[in-house]
Structure 1
């Protein structure tokens, strides 16, 4: 029926509409129910008892114009009546304000929240509209807002903390956001206990932890140490703003309204049964996490990290740097040496996980075996040869070469691959004695078979020393000693003035010793004796020629004189 009336009146002209109002009278101050007939730019046209008779200006509406629809029912108060035009002006807000004021007072008495919005910022606080129509004041200290915070646009719950009526004007109403917030926070904190699991959204990340929003009023903190059992895991690798997370409540400070949370405690503590899962003596694979001057740390599981002390890295007195053995990120085998569950520390061994190479050293490197190795270090007293990692042997100076060794570097250099004979093995003290020269055939054996004292040999001066020179004997690759006294018939003060390195000479062997049982081998040679023998031989040959001369009447002395005379008269070349 209402729709029919409305449709009929929509077809009326404005004159006909005003005529229809002539017989209808309105009283100022009366309260009527009205129906929205038309939405105008500056207010609403409304129907009273089905007849068009009123206008509600926008300033007298409870809600913005956009909130109203045609057909909506509202209560209004008649402000004035224009009898000439047959039209009245009405106000919705004045009816609603009375009711809203009663509701606000009731909420104050009952200590209940009331809806409202912050309208603007004023001195020392904010202007608030409760239920859209009741003016109230929000002190800054009760707002919970910072000076540079933006004013919230949404409808909020306020607590009325003061309601004082005035005889002459509107009542003075003071509200608080903070008290309600404190009540909500208290209620939330009272509803949880340590050990509870709560859900929230990550608001922000800091170096010290993550802030998680649990309610609109309550934010908890997950300390960085409570993100993972693995202390090396960085918080940003696990969480990011906006993530929804579950966390365990590990601390509640009601006085300061703070909650501490933990992610890692939702999972089993890996140290809880550490002794059962990683017993002392067991070997496990792990990852090198960091290298420090005194060793390196290895993670064998998330949250389980132990130290390999430098004393547990090498077998023997290795002089390598830790960085030459492992690098961060390497997967390595380690053996559990010690567990301290209370301090959450593990002592690990890298070397024992690899195994002690000296355990079966005698079977792997028996005495008399010739092996290959790498020259690791040159010393004034000999050479260190590495046979494998952590297994090295010492070659004394006397065992480097069958020949005399003045400087080790003249024979071998660091990094050279050499063959060596194992002379002795001391497993208990981790020592091995090697011989480079005995890994090859003894050249002195052939010398002793082929040569004797008095024999002549040729050779090259390879170096000089204060007391003589060293000669490399041709065909045998052994070194003989040429004393300075055996260089010439004349007295030699400085051998370098008589012979030069690289010169080839003939020599006479004046001493030869080959005593392998006492490890004695040497040869002494002489240029002087060789030259004497040569002169003697030449003299004997000359005498032999003279004695066979065709003039038998001359004595041997006369023949020599004649020969000398002939040589003097012979033309010089």
Structure 2
């Protein structure tokens, strides 16, 4: 701008400038054609009648100071002369004001629109400047501006609803609503459903986005009409100030409402769905949402299907779906049903993964010994998982070669153990397994090496109401010690005579090994062991007596008694 201000100053000398300002033929009130010579911070220097003798203060300009350029032609009125300085103060606004007032009055009489700007807000309305010069008042009731909303900027079309000349000026009242209503009515007459319109996004709400179609009409794109993909957020598609092209889906002229659709600017993916997808085909999609009854998979924007929980697992398996898939996972699914009318897809996750039981006999055979993971411990047995969706059941009788009082004392969930397949029922998806038969039968060795009457050692592992369980050394089998066989004396409570962890010697008083009837048990006794030792000591004492000659009965009784007391202390 500074270059514009000084462009002509460079072509004139100071003497020439003062010479041109020396004489002024301007008279107060006269109108002159002027040319902008230079732009000053407080106004314009202008040439009138070929001489540099005019100054237009900034407050006497019609437009803002920065809108003028050197060389612009304007019409001014002399409002003050200074013969000493040889310069006149002139006003563009006074010339323009007379013309502007005439334009405003004519617009009032003819009912036509006139340009203006809102310059400030008051309690009752807004101050307006018409045709850049004439002051007017816009009542709030005639503004059409919602309370709290900012006043529109830029040049607007107003209707003059009052024009009155007064002694101290003029009184002008204008309306925006009058022409707005006419403009809105005219605009609605041009709109029809199916028409495409372009507008500017004004604001975004949870329920949709407002789009400004022109200065007077704003329409709504409902959230449901944003995208064929209902999961897409409005803020991901639109931003305030963005230009958007839409399709009209509803017009209510009485309520002055227009509904638009953004998604209908593209083809409905469901209209040609069967051209792209077939029932029983396997496709890849993205997990969008997980619910208690299944999870939703998106095949493409706007096309989602449900994998019902019954189509997730093979067999009667109950798992948390979030342990199988997560939101955002890419998964394979098989299309089971397409309903274009209801816009629904039924999908299967398990069919896409394949039925592990379909050829189960090719992978597993009866008699196979393999590793499996403990999935669930029940009072009646154990569920073991051989692989995903392939599990088998171990009855309590097949958990151990020994008696099992509490299964969880033998097997814990998560344990990986060896099992033997006893039977496979592929039709009912069942497999009977054995933990104990994955190992050799220890009772076979017991039956071969031990007999009733043999003495064995072992450790008391637990107590029952009727006796104690003893783990026999070197054989790993359990024997039963009845409470009646604990001592020579009568025992009421097993806890009074035997403690868990006690290691001792026992006599086998019963041994049964009948694998055909799955019967294996051993009963041991401390009482019979004591009696055996008493008899042995008696025999030994008698032999000693026979070798040393006669001895009285009292001495023999005392020897037996002392020997038994010593043996009793060692038990």
| Fold match by TM threshold 0.5 | yes
Relative to the length of structure 1, the TM-score reads: 0.77
239-248 or 515-524, which moves further after superposition?
239-248
Residue in structure 2 matched with residue 359 of structure 1 by the alignment = 358
* Per-residue Cα deviation, 1:385-408 (whole angstroms, up to 9, x for no partner): 222233322222221111122222
d(CA) in 2 for partners of 1:426, 1:385: 16
* Per-residue Cα deviation, 1:400-440 (whole angstroms, up to 9, x for no partner): 11112222233222222111112223333333222111110
Q: Secondary structure at the match of 1:438?
A: helix
Return the index of the structure with the highest Cα Rg: 1
d(CA) in 2 for partners of 1:122, 1:392: 81
Residue in structure 2 matched with residue 511 of structure 1 by the alignment = 510
1:366 shift after superposition: 2.2
Residue in structure 1 matched with residue 157 of structure 2 by the alignment = 157
Q: Secondary structure at the match of 1:240?
A: coil
* Per-residue Cα deviation, 1:199-257 (whole angstroms, up to 9, x for no partner): 22222222222222232333222222222222222212222222222222222233333
Residue in structure 1 matched with residue 382 of structure 2 by the alignment = 383
Structure 1 pair 500–147 and aligned structure 2 pair: CA distance change class (3 A): closer
1:472 is aligned to 2:463: no
Structure 1 pair 434–95 and aligned structure 2 pair: CA distance change class (3 A): closer
1:281 is aligned to 2:291: no
RMSD, matched Cα: 4.7
1:397 is aligned to 2:417: no
* Per-residue Cα deviation, 1:131-189 (whole angstroms, up to 9, x for no partner): 4566766554333345666666744333345678x899999866433233333334443
1:236 is aligned to 2:248: no
d(CA) in 2 for partners of 1:43, 1:456: 130
In the alignment, structure 2 segments of 5+ residues that lack a partner are 1-11, 82-86, 567-571
Q: Secondary structure at the match of 1:273?
A: helix
443-452 or 171-180, which moves further after superposition?
171-180
In the alignment, structure 1 segments of 5+ residues that lack a partner are 1-5, 82-86, 552-557
- Between Structure 1 and Structure 2, how many residues are aligned? 545
d(CA) in 1 for partners of 2:48, 2:183: 45
1:443 shift after superposition: 0.9
Q: Secondary structure at the match of 2:421?
A: strand
1:17-416 correspondence to structure 2 within 5 Å: 17=23, 34=33, 63=62, 72=73, 74=75, 112-117=112-117, 130-131=130-131, 138-146=138-146, 154-160=154-160, 175-416=174-415
1:328 shift after superposition: 2.6
107-116 or 319-328, which moves further after superposition?
107-116
1:433-448 correspondence to structure 2 within 5 Å: 433-448=432-447
d(CA) in 2 for partners of 1:93, 1:496: 119
Contact 1:471/1:481, CA 8 A, preserved across alignment: yes
1:92 shift after superposition: 8.0
d(CA) in 2 for partners of 1:37, 1:506: 129
d(CA) in 2 for partners of 1:277, 1:59: 70
Contact 2:392/2:433, CA 8 A, preserved across alignment: yes
1:194 shift after superposition: 2.5
Structure 1 pair 71–364 and aligned structure 2 pair: CA distance change class (3 A): closer
Q: Secondary structure at the match of 1:286?
A: strand
